[in-house]
Amino acid sequence: MLKEMMEPGQEKKPALGVMAPHAGYIYSGRGAGIVFSRVNVPDDVVVLGVNHRGLGADVAIISQGTWLTPLGEVKINTELARMIKAGSELVSEDETAHRSEHSLEVQIPFLQLARPGFSLVPLCLSRMSIEQCEELGKALAAALKKWGKPVLLVASSDMSHYIAAEEAKKKDNLALEKILKLDPRGLYQTVFENDISMCGVIPVAVMLVAAKEMGAQSAELVDYRNSGDVTGDYREVVAYAAVMVR
């Protein structure tokens, strides 16, 4: 299924970060497959998931062990995880936040296809102010600079939820405009001021802060779709976007 959602033969470009959707693969997998087909995934990846259930710490990291998917095991990069944890008092060692959360784990098989043998640092985020997003993003960038090897930041997010497709696109364009301008504070404010049900605004804001600290100059929207493209029902959709940040 995932191979059918990838784009073989695409030129792979280096990126500092991506935003990828995290719904059921039949709905958002094509969008995720497109972005992971176009990015040159390095050996080390930090995935920033959103905590839908509100369990555990607000900034929850797991710094040792493995993640198991049907494609095999992915080792956690313990050294890099500890560097990130040491760089910010916001970060807590906490498995509870990850235990029932899907937003991070659905990205991993795509990464396994794109870069077999990659190592992972998993972070699950919730209930953060924009100031905390900026603090964490800068701490992430500092750790990655210290690491000294290429690292991809993957921010996991869907866009508008359970509204008509036309309204979803109108609202999502407001958020995407800020993402494409590399404006994390503007994104955060836009989402909350316009009641945009973009669940991963916090992971995306953190990714944008970190990417800018590491020298990001541009962002590209590579896919936008919604669940109605599969179900045929555009009256109430969930929308999905995929973005590359370079």
3-state secondary structure of 64: coil
Note the pLDDT of residue 219.
98
Structure tokens at 57: 């710490």
Note the pLDDT of residue 190.
98
Note the pLDDT of residue 213.
98
Beta strands 219-226 and 237-245 are antiparallel
Structure tokens at 235: 């009256």
List the chain residues with pLDDT less than 70: none
Give the separation between CA 229 and CA 67, rounded to whole angstroms: 31
Domains identified in the chain, total number: 1
Structure tokens at 114: 């794109």
3-state secondary structure of 110: helix
CATH number at residue 189: 3.40.830.10
Note the pLDDT of residue 146.
98
45 and 114 Cβ atoms separated by less than 8 Å: no
Burial class (CB in 10 A: 0-12, 13-18, 19+), 126: buried
Using only C-alpha atoms, what is the Rg of the chain? 16
| 126 closest CA partner among 56, 24, 63, 21 | 56
Amino acid making up residue 97: A
For 76-107, write each residue's pLDDT tens digit: 999 999 999 999 999 999 999 999 999 999 99
Domain extent at residue 42:
2-245
Note the pLDDT of residue 19.
98
Buried-state track 23-36, b at ≥16 Cβ within 10 A, e below 16: bebebbbbbbbbbb
Torsion of CA 31, 184, 109, 196, to 10 degrees: -50
Give the separation between CA 198 and CA 193, rounded to whole angstroms: 12
Angle between helices 201-213 and 130-147 (to 10 degrees): 50
Note the pLDDT of residue 120.
98
Amino acid making up residue 125: L
- In the block, residue with structure tokens 């890099």: 80
